[in-house]
A and B are shown apart, each in its own frame.
Chain A
């Protein structure tokens, strides 16, 4: 198990950092991104007013070591910088949000959300780094650093099924399992994407995305 974890971590650090769930897509484009694991779930919906920024709403569920909490957040996403090259694309996004929190122990309260994410990809490799924090009174805070790297085992034409093999490392200090490593498969078909995987401890990971 240790060797496997080391191998995956090495893979990740070989590739430079980068995120798949782009919060800003194309002008007038909608994006829906649900994620499910037994310890946390996210649902994010964004509408891109331009190719630079989008507005949206997110729902987060976090099962921490002390309590369970749900957050509803209205958010603003901004593309800070994009590098378009013939063989690659890289992006840096920032997200700021405000909303409410429902906690299993404390009273309901307001909550804030901040996220910074960057990605780099070619047709063959994909890397992503995502840092986010959910903050609310009573120290009901949830932080996450997600680091990803992936390779495409084959190059498919535009309208065909695309497959990626991805290694994901997440550090969430407020959770029971603070550090998780998740190998997963990502499939693209037209404007739909699906990610299926499991942590090294056997916990399932499911994520999807649709642009329209």
Chain B
């Protein structure tokens, strides 16, 4: 019984620290220059639900990791990419633990 209480307490304390995130891979048209693509990084970087940003110029993919509790819609992503001067080709979503 005592053991169960300990385990339950530990789990209870751990719940607030558990966080889930979503990884989104955005294939971007026109992203051929590192200097010009800084705008994408800057715009996503200003958002408080973005945990991580990675830009792969070879594959033309921007990978963002976002807080699952504050989702980002495809429309919002398209607007950010367009405001940065580019076009979205595809958006792929995946879950992270």
Spell out A's residues near B (CB within 8 Å).
Answer: 22, 24-27, 29, 50-51, 82-89, 121-123, 155-160, 162, 188, 190-191, 193, 209, 211-212
- A-B residue pairs in contact (CB < 8 Å), sample of 17: A26-B42, A27-B43, A29-B42, A50-B83, A51-B85, A82-B30, A84-B30, A86-B89, A87-B32, A87-B60, A89-B33, A121-B33, A162-B34, A191-B42, A209-B35, A211-B35, A212-B42
Pairs of residues from A and B, 10 with the lowest C-beta to C-beta distance, nearest first: A26-B39, A84-B30, A27-B83, A89-B30, A158-B55, A84-B29, A188-B35, A84-B87, A191-B38, A26-B84
* B38 x A190 contact (CB < 8 A): yes
| B23-70, CB < 8 A from A | 27, 29-40, 42-43, 54-58, 60
Q: What's the least CB distance linking A33 to chain B, in Å?
A: 12
* A155 x B58 contact (CB < 8 A): yes
* Cα distance, A74 to B39, chains bound together (Å): 24
Nearest B residue to A209 by beta-carbon distance? B35
* B32 x A22 contact (CB < 8 A): no
With beta carbons under 8 angstroms apart, the residue of B38, B54, B86 that contacts A84 is: B86
Contacts of A159 in B (CB 8 A): 34, 55
* B30 x A85 contact (CB < 8 A): yes
